[in-house]
Amino acid sequence: MTDTNTSMYRSEVIEKAINIEWIINSIISQHYFNRVDMKFLLDFLYDEYCSFALKRRVLLKIVNDFDPKMESHLNRLMNIRNYFAHCNQEIFDAGETLTQESKGKILDPKKPEREIDFEKLHKEFISIETLVSKYLFEIYQRKGGQFDK
């Protein structure tokens, strides 16, 4: 896989993860204010200390019938997003002669004996992202949220 492919995969995964977080933020706002309150979104939900983990916990508290399979999918999506956002440090073998064309290994921080397969992670992300986004949007609509084109 080329660096260009990895960069394209990285941007797609991160952008789609941002979209998922926007839907979650909209659900939370809709639940508490019966509308998407931009001041609440910008002042609170988009504060750098308001983590995704906190938003996920609130989401699970306010949606009593949240599908456990979708929760698992949501967690996996954000785990994959974290690989793309935080793992990019190439490791080279000691004593290896390096050139501009040299490519190191990007190791999995959870299993450092193996390399990260970004192409495989991208395919997995794409295969479940639409399901999760659609499910979250349905929750948003059940809470009275509307989408204007």
Say if residue 6 is exposed, middle or buried (CB neighbours under 10 Å; 0-12, 13-18, 19+): middle
Confidence of residue 38 (pLDDT cuts 50, 70, 90): very high
- Is 121:16 a contact under the CB 8 Å cutoff? no
Report pTM.
Answer: 0.85
Residue 145 region, left (φ>0) first, then alpha (ψ -120 to 50), else beta? beta
Q: What is the pLDDT of residue 118?
A: 84
SS3 (DSSP) at 32: helix
Residue, of 86 and 1, whose pLDDT is higher: 86
- Mean pLDDT rounded to a whole number for the chain: 88
Confidence of residue 6 (pLDDT cuts 50, 70, 90): confident
Q: What is the largest CA-CA distance in the chain?
A: 62
Q: What is the pLDDT of residue 31?
A: 97
If you average pLDDT over residues 8-15, what whole number do you get?
94
As a whole-number percent, the residues of the chain with pLDDT over 90 amount to 67
Owner of token pair 């479940």 = 128
Lowest mean pLDDT among 51-55, 100-104, 120-124: 100-104
